[in-house]
Amino acid sequence: MNRPTFFEGVAVAAVLAVAGTSGWHLGSLLLPRRILPDLLLTGIATLYALYLLYRSPLRAGRLTALAAWLPLSLGLVLWPVPLPMQAVAYGGALWLLRTTCHHPSLLGLVADLALQALSAGAAVWAIRESGSVFLAMWSYFLVQALFAAIPRATPRSRTEATAQHPFDRAERAAEQALRRIAAR
């Protein structure tokens, strides 16, 4: 799977901002005003977490990440935590999820943390200046789209690390032979 791009992140930002705004307006008709922000924040953060897991190059650990995400979400919805603290908790959880799935280096970890802080600042600024839920979500996720620009660490390839061992050379030769046979 290809690496996520900035423009894909912009599209995700637009979808999440529209979904969040629609959820806000629809939810205000159906739900009590005191639980609507909690449910909306949980829903949008969970959708973004699912996107990150879907686009992760790692195949292992997705169920573990979901198993950790669900109790966090449930706890934040059921426990009387102020909305800003919930936003910080979800931002931290998304940062942890993205650094483990997309940026396995120290540079990626620090850059992504700075991106989270910048995103939160953009969302706070947008909601204070405009009062618009759409603009706050759009600003947050638009800045989050920049995570595609964070360089990934390129670990030494397996062939470079094990080129000296005779067994590994034989294994590579056998794999090449199987590929040639399968290509016929």
Residue 163's pLDDT band, with cuts at 50, 70 and 90, is low
Smallest Cα–Cα separation from 132: which of 34, 25, 13? Answer: 25
Distance CA 71, CA 150 (A): 29
Residue 164's pLDDT band, with cuts at 50, 70 and 90, is low
DSSP for 75-120, written as a single string? HHHHS---HHHHHHHHHHHHHHHHHHHT--SHHHHHHHHHHHHHHH
pLDDT digits (tens, 9 = 90+) for 77-99: 888 888 888 889 999 899 888 88
Distance CA 97, CA 169 (A): 36
> CA angle, corner 117, sides to 113 and 122, nearest 5?
145
- Please say if the pLDDT value at position 28 is more than 80: yes
Inter-residue contact 24 to 133 (CB < 8 Å)? yes
Distance CA 103, CA 110 (A): 10
Percent residues over pLDDT 90 in the chain: 28
pLDDT digits (tens, 9 = 90+) for 72-81: 888 888 888 8
pTM for this prediction: 0.75
Percent residues over pLDDT 70 in the chain: 92
- pLDDT value at residue 1: 57
- pLDDT value at residue 156: 47
For helices 36-55 and 83-101, the axis angle rounded to 10 degrees is 0
